[in-house]
Amino acid sequence: MAYFKNVNKVNYEGPSTQNPFAFKYYNPEETMKNGQTMEEFLRFSVAYWHTFVGDGSDPFGQGTMVRPWNKFSGMDLAKARVEAGFELFEKLNVPFFCFHDVDIAPEGETLKETYDNLDEIVGMLKGYMKTSKTKLLWNTANMFTHPRWLHGAASSPNADVFAYAAAKVKKGLEVGKELGAENYVFWGGREGYETLLNTDMKLEQDNLARFFHMAKDYAQEIGFDAQFLIEPKPKEPTKHQYDFDVATGLAFLQSYDLTDHFKFNIEANHATLAGHSFEHELRVARINGMLGSVDANQGDTLLGWDTDEFPTDMYATTLAMYEILKNGGLGTGGLNFDAKLRRGSFEPDDLFHGHIAGMDSFAIGAKVAERLIEDKVFDSFVDERYSSYKEGIGLDIVEGKTDLHKLEKYALELGSIRNHSGRQEKLKGLLNQYLLEALTK
C-alpha cells in the first residue's frame, strides 16, 4: 500500500525548479571539497517519533495530524508505520533513521510482552533494511513517557525503576546490535529533579554513572560497537536536567571516568534552551573531541520551550556546518531531523516539505561553510587576533615558561597597552556576503 500517493521520489532539480517535491540545494551526488558526496557527508536521518508517531497534540488541544496509517491500531499500526516509514525513506532518499523503542512497537502489559512486540517489529525492520539503503543511525529507550518514570529512570529514588530502566537499555542495546545501529543515544528526559528538598543529588548522579558503566560493559559483552551518545538538554520535562549542556555533561563524564565511551548528540533547540547558540554547543563538543551527532531542528526565540521546528535558518545551518566541517565531519553520527511539523501543517505532504526544507537548508550551510573555511575568512582573522601568543612573552605563556614573578616583571616594564578591534561587524558582513554569494551562484 502507498501512504504518500502525491509524492514520487524526491530528486535534485536545482534552485530554479518550481517543483515543491524536489531538492533545490541538496544534491546527494554532488562531491564536496573534501571528496565526499553530500549524501556521505551530511548523513541525514528521519526521526521516527515525530514523523510516524507524533499526532500534533499540545497541552491545549487534540492531535491534528492526518496520517493514513492511523486507521490501524496496536501491532497493526506498528507494522503500518514500518511500511509508511520505508516508503518515505525511499522517496526522500535518506540514508538513516532513528527511533525510541516505544516508537516502533507498543508497550505490552508486562516487560516480557513489550520485548515480544519489539522483537516482532525489529524482525520486520530487518527485513525491510535488507533491500533498503536506509540504515539505523541510532536507537534509544524511551524512559520518560510511562508513569513509572515519574521520578526519573536511572536517577529515580526507586531501585525497582532503576532495574526496569536497566532492562530497557539492555534490550535496546541488543536491538541496536541486531539492526546495525551506528550509535546509541541516552537522553535523560526525567534524569534530573523538580526540587532539591526531596532529592539526594549525589546518589542520583552516582547512580546515573553506574548505569552508564553497566550499559558500556554490556555493549562490550555482546560486541555492539556503536558510539554511545549523551544528548544534553537543560530542562523540560524536568525543571533541572543533569545533562544540562555539553560543558556540564563533559564534567559529569570526566568525574565518572566515562569520556572514552561517550560523545554528545547535540540538538539545536536544546542548545538555545540552555541559553547557548547551536554553534556554541557544537564548538564546546568539537574542541574537546566529543562531537558525535546532531539533532537538526530549531527553536523559536518567541517561545520558551522545545518547539522542535524543521531547521530553515541558514545562518544557524551555516555556523553549524562550519563546526562540523572543522570537526572533519560527524564520524558515525549524522544530521537527524528531530523536528516536527506545526499543528497547522497536518497533511502527509507536509512531512516531505519539512524534510526537503531542512535538507536544503543544511546543504546551503555546508556549501557556505566550505567556502568560508577554504578562504580562511574567519581563520586568518582569528590567527592574527591571537598572534601575540606566537612570540615573546605570549609564546612563553603558551609553552608554560612563565610564572607570576616573570609576568609581573614583564608587566612592570610595559609601557601603554595597545589593543586591536575585534571587527565583529565586519566579520558578520562577510558572513552575509558569503551566504548571498552561495545562493546567487
Positions touching ligand XLS (CB under 6 A) are 100, 140, 185, 187, 231, 233, 267, 295, 306, 338
Q: Most distant CA pair in the chain: distance in Å?
A: 82
Tell me the Cα Rg of the chain. 24
Q: In 10 A of CB 217, how many CB atoms?
A: 10
* Cβ neighbours for 89, distance < 8 A, ≥ 6 positions apart: 46, 97, 132, 134
Residue 200 is a catalytic residue: no
Cell numbers representing residue 331 in the block: 564520524
In whole angstroms, the minimum distance from the beta carbon of 100 to ligand XLS comes to 6
How many residues at the interface with Ca ion, by CB under 5 A? 6
Bridge partners of 228, per DSSP, are 184, 262
Which of residues 45 and 438 has its CB atom nearest to ligand XLS in the complex?
Answer: 45
In whole angstroms, the minimum distance from the beta carbon of 40 to ligand XLS comes to 23
Pairing label, strands 262-267, 227-230: parallel
In whole angstroms, the minimum distance from the beta carbon of 298 to ligand XLS comes to 13
Strand stretches in 48-166, DSSP E: 96-100, 135-140
281 contributes a contact to Ca ion by CB under 5 A: no
Which one of Ca ion, ligand XLS, none interacts with residue 283, CB within 5 to 8 A by kind? none
Which of residues 91 and 272 has its CB atom nearest to ligand XLS in the complex?
Answer: 272
Which one of ligand XLS, Ca ion, none interacts with residue 140, CB within 5 to 8 A by kind? ligand XLS
Which of residues 100 and 263 has its CB atom nearest to ligand XLS in the complex?
Answer: 100
Which of residues 142 and 318 has its CB atom nearest to ligand XLS in the complex?
Answer: 142
Residue 403 is a catalytic residue: no
Among 191, 306, 309, 323, binds Ca ion (CB under 5 A): 306
Of 70, 91, 63, nearest in space to 346 by CA: 63
Q: Return phi, psi of residue 256, to 5°.
A: -110, 20
DSSP string, 254-314: HHTT-TTTEEEEEEHHHHHHTTS-HHHHHHHHHHTT-EEEEE--B--TTS-S---BPP--H
295 contributes a contact to Ca ion by CB under 5 A: yes
Spot the catalytic one: 100, 270, 276, 355: 100
In whole angstroms, the minimum distance from the beta carbon of 360 to Ca ion comes to 21
In the chain the first and final C-alpha atoms are separated, in Å, by 41
Q: Distance (Å, rounded) from C-alpha 153 to C-alpha 199?
A: 14
Which residue number places its CB atom closest to ligand XLS? 187
In whole angstroms, the minimum distance from the beta carbon of 259 to Ca ion comes to 21
Which of residues 305 and 386 has its CB atom nearest to Ca ion in the complex?
Answer: 305
Q: Distance (Å, rounded) from C-alpha 138 to C-alpha 315?
A: 27
338 contributes a contact to Ca ion by CB under 5 A: yes
In whole angstroms, the minimum distance from the beta carbon of 32 to ligand XLS comes to 27
Spot the catalytic one: 50, 58, 101, 103: 103
Q: What residues line the site for Ca ion (CB under 5 A)?
A: 267, 269, 295, 306, 308, 338
Active site residues: 100, 103
